[in-house]
């Protein structure tokens, strides 16, 4: 099995603050998620989209999957993404994180390439960035055990497994303004992101 072949975009969630489903955001008539896929294809041969609306992805060049363990939040998306992956380590990003930073992805790969870890996560102060991150197929059982106990937070997983942390100072060399962790949660966030594209 290859080490870094698969990337997963999590496209579930309720998008309650946005007012419409974030996985279908369009920029200049192109779905934002498709723009992310095009970027990820520069680094990954296998792209998986985890969605609760698979019927909306007819004709996609990606593999489309649904949560196996329903209604359990992003941890269940990580679970099915890992189960369906074709590599030991899998890159995960959310569909509302448009700024794919290929240089930082490559940096994370090099940091863990010769290590035996379960995840590679970035720290910012005391907070953890659980996406724009790598997880190992080795944590599938850990996730299943957590979800059986109704522990849904991704932090429940990373605190219990062998997680490799990249400190904020190191990560900011690749994204000084931290925009590689930008989340588009509201219409205001979306407008701000679109305006930044014109700068």
Binding annotation: 10-12, 22, 67, 96
CB neighbours of residue 25 within 10 Å: 21
d(CA 93, CA 181): 9
Helix (H, G, I), strand (E, B) or coil at 62: coil
Q: Which residues are annotated as a binding site for Mg(2+)?
A: 96
Report the 10 Å Cβ neighbour count for 98. Answer: 23
Phi-psi region of 151 (alpha: psi -120 to 50; beta: other; left: phi over 0): beta
10 Å CB burial of residue 172 (0-12, 13-18, 19+) is middle
What are the binding residues for GTP? 10-12, 22, 67, 96
């Amino acid at each position: 099995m290859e080490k870094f072949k698969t990337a997963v975009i999590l496209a579930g969630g309720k998008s309650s603050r946005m007012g419409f489903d974030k996985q279908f955001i369009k920029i200049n008539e192109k779905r934002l998620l498709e723009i992310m896929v095009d970027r990820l294809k520069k680094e990954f041969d296998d792209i998986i989209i985890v969605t609760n609306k698979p019927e909306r992805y007819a004709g996609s060049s990606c593999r489309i999957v649904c949560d196996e363990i329903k209604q359990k939040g992003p941890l269940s998306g990580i679970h099915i993404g890992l189960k369906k992956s074709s590599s030991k380590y899998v890159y995960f990003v959310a569909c509302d994180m448009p700024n794919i930073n290929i240089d930082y992805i490559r940096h994370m790969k090099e940091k863990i390439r010769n290590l035996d870890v379960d995840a590679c996560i970035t720290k910012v102060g005391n907070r953890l960035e659980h996406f724009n991150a790598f997880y190992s197929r080795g944590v599938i059982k850990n996730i299943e055990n957590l979800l059986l106990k109704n522990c849904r937070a991704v932090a429940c997983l990373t605190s219990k497994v062998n997680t490799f942390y990249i400190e904020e100072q190191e990560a900011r060399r690749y994204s000084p303004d931290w925009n590689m962790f930008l989340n588009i949660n509201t219409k205001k966030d979306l407008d701000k992101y679109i305006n930044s594209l014109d700068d």
